[in-house]
Amino acid sequence: LKKKDKLNLIGGFAYLVELSQNTPNISNIIAYADIVHERAIIREMITAANEIANAGYYPKGRNYEELIDLAETKIFKIAEIRSKKNVGPQKIDEILDNTISR
């Protein structure tokens, strides 16, 4: 960029340094993925809790047993997501092959 006199067009050397410091790299990608996964589960919990609360406020003719079944289903679905945490990183070509074969 410097040789082609384009460094200032992208924000200069300071921006490149900042970009490299704020971009996840391979050394911390697993920790970063764990954080993303954890936050996704928390968002699912919040959504499920809101849906369960709304079902309680507005049962639409459902009795308490049906509402408990609904709540259990939503919570167990989140538990399934959590249990998949140990899958680990996968190669993109394997993911694409599986997706295309569907």
Q: Is the pLDDT of residue 92 over 90?
A: no
- CA dist., res. 82 & res. 87, Å (int): 10
Q: Point out the least confidently predicted range of 52-56, 71-75, 84-88.
A: 84-88
Tokens 């694409």 belong to which residue?
96
Task: Using a cut of 0.75, tell me whether the model's pTM lies above it.
Answer: no
pLDDT at 24: 67
Identify the helix (H) or strand (E) that includes residue 50: helix 29-57
What is the residue type of 42? I
Domain residues of the chain, as ranges?
Answer: 26-101
Phi-psi region of 89 (alpha: psi -120 to 50; beta: other; left: phi over 0): beta
